[in-house]
A and B are shown apart, each in its own frame.
Chain A
Amino acid sequence: MERHFDTELADLKGSILQMGDLVEEAIIDSVEALKKLDKDKAAKVIADDKFIDESELKIDEECLDLLALRQPMAVDLRFITMAMKISTDLERMADLAVDISQRVLELADKPLLKPLVDIPKLTLLAQKMTRDAIGSFIKKDVDLAKQVILCDKEADDLRNLVQQELLNDYISKNKETIPRAIPLLLVARHLERICDHATNIAEDVIYMVEARVVKHHIEKLDK
């Protein structure tokens, strides 16, 4: 039997997809701004964050209405509650893009401390994990969600590499590098946090599709 409810669920999915696009764009723009130390681009990411905040509120309201008015069960219930959590993760990811942009503003008037090597790698990884996490939600694709979760370790490793290099080769050797090193250290941390949120989304997708909790239990991923 066709349900009117299905149209509303499709609308909710559309809202998440739209928010996902905005967040992905914010992340890409913030790291583009970093690469070119482009203050204007960074300022735009910061200013445009309000649209993402609005999306979050709109999605929360849609979810709340569907919970109250449709009394969803089973897969429908999981879809709506996960949509609510995913919108929170997406909003936090956008805030991290704002944080990166703020670091760009701090760095912009000084020469870069060193050529960026691992940060661009981490950037690409964060972009890919974000895109795949949203894609796995939209397509209910558990395999793609698993790939996202398995990438998280790589993100942690890259962040550690950046951290160690900045600490050992710059900060501990020459205190004057600190104002230019700390923002880079933070950028690595922001990017790694973006990957964490993408991982959260992927874990929620597996729960949504298979009603299986893999959060905090990576060993359960292949069961």
Chain B
Amino acid sequence: MDNKIKMQAKNVDFFYGKTQALKKVSLDVYSHKVTAMIGPSGCGKSTFIRLFNRMNELVPHTTLCGEIFLDDLEINNPLVDAVDIRRRVGMVFQKPNPFPKSIFENISYGLKVNGIKNKAFIEHKVEDSLKKAVIWDEVKNRLNDSALKLSGGQQQRLCIARCLAVETEVILFDEPCASLDPISTAKIEELILELKKEYSIVIVTHNMQQAARVSDCTGFFLLGELVEFGKTQDIFTAPKDKRTEAYITGRFG
């Protein structure tokens, strides 16, 4: 088993103004594994995942203490380019957010922004990314159609393909199936299991069954604290903390 650490949070505190959203959270994200964050609304799991690609710094009046590493790089170091971090650590959101452009342009856009002009390379990369995101067969004959014509599940897979095109290393999923039907959800889950062979994956989900199905490691957050973190099978069959047990069995509150 490859237990290389890909990303690491060390003693992270996070504040929105004076409100503390995360308290001394330390957690390792392993290479080629799916790491899930579960917990009730407002527990800090989404705030936490957004630290991994510096999304929270776009929110005014926030304070971060502690360190976040991508491999050996401390990503909040002032010398580090946030745009480069967001290329290496891609994100897929709750609501699919394709650009109001064609399917092809949705994928090629990131490459062009990164200065790639070689047309043949871009075409190859678009096809390759769409194939990896298991949407190629559904769109290959209409690459010039607007991405907004796709179904929700297809749009979400397109957004995943968009991350893959720029050679991301880590993919953060923030409730990726919240707006999808069960079949589209199953497709995204199968895709996540396939993608972990090449990428490291972090997923935040309200749906603990989803965390159980797709993840290797699970962290349970409550009131800004990481209550328990461990192998998914241990968390869901024999959690150590009474609060984790109460939450996953629905006895919470």
Contacts and interface: CB of A to CB of B under 8 A. Distances in A.
B247 to A, nearest CB: 14
B232 A69 contact: yes
User: Which of the listed residues A2, A3, A68 has the most CB atoms from chain B within 10 Å of its own CB?
Assistant: A68
Interface string A114-138: 0000000000000000000000000
A64 B237 contact: yes
A157 interface: no
A68 B211 CA distance: 11
A4 B212 CA distance: 13
Interface string B213-238: 10000000000000000001100110
Nearest to A5: B213
A69 B212 contact: yes
B82 interface: no
Contacts of B236: 68-69
A2 B190 contact: yes
Interface residues of B, number: 11
Contacts of B232: 69
Nearest to A67: B237
Interface string A52-96: 000000000000110011110000000000000000000000000
Contacts of A71: 209, 212-213
B187 interface: yes
A207 to B, nearest CB: 25
A47 interface: no
B219 to A, nearest CB: 16
Contact of B237 (A2, A4, A65, A70): A65
B212 A70 contact: yes
A69 B190 CA distance: 14
Given A68-B212, A70-B212, A71-B212, A3 B190 contact: yes
A4 B190 contact: yes
Interface of A is mostly: helix
A71 B210 CA distance: 9
A83 B155 CA distance: 39
A108 B112 CA distance: 85
A3 B189 CA distance: 10
Contacts of A68: 212, 233, 236-237
Nearest to A7: B193
Interface string B193-219: 100000000000000010011000000
B186 interface: yes
Contact size range, A: 10 to 19
B187 A4 contact: no
Contacts of A64: 237
Contacts of B209: 71
Interface in A170-217: none
User: Which of the listed residues A2, A69, A70 has the most CB atoms from chain B within 10 Å of its own CB?
Assistant: A69
A70 B212 CA distance: 7
A1 B187 contact: yes
B213 A70 contact: yes
A69 B186 contact: no
A26 to B, nearest CB: 30
Interface in A1-54: 1-4
A1 B237 CA distance: 28
Contacts of B212: 68-71
Contact of B193 (A1, A4, A69): A4
A71 B232 CA distance: 14
A79 to B, nearest CB: 17
A10 B213 CA distance: 17
Given A65-B237, A71-B209, 13 more contacts: A1-B186, A2-B190, A3-B190, A4-B190, A4-B193, A65-B233, A68-B233, A68-B236, A68-B237, A69-B233, A69-B236, A70-B212, A70-B213
Interface of A: 1-4, 64-65, 68-71
A-B interface, 10 closest residue pairs, ranked by CB to CB distance from nearest = A68-B236, A69-B212, A4-B193, A65-B233, A68-B237, A71-B209, A64-B237, A69-B236, A70-B213, A69-B233
19 contacts: A1-B186, A3-B186, A3-B190, A4-B190, A4-B193, A64-B237, A65-B233, A65-B237, A68-B233, A68-B237, A69-B212, A69-B213, A69-B233, A69-B236, A70-B212, A70-B213, A71-B209, A71-B212, A71-B213
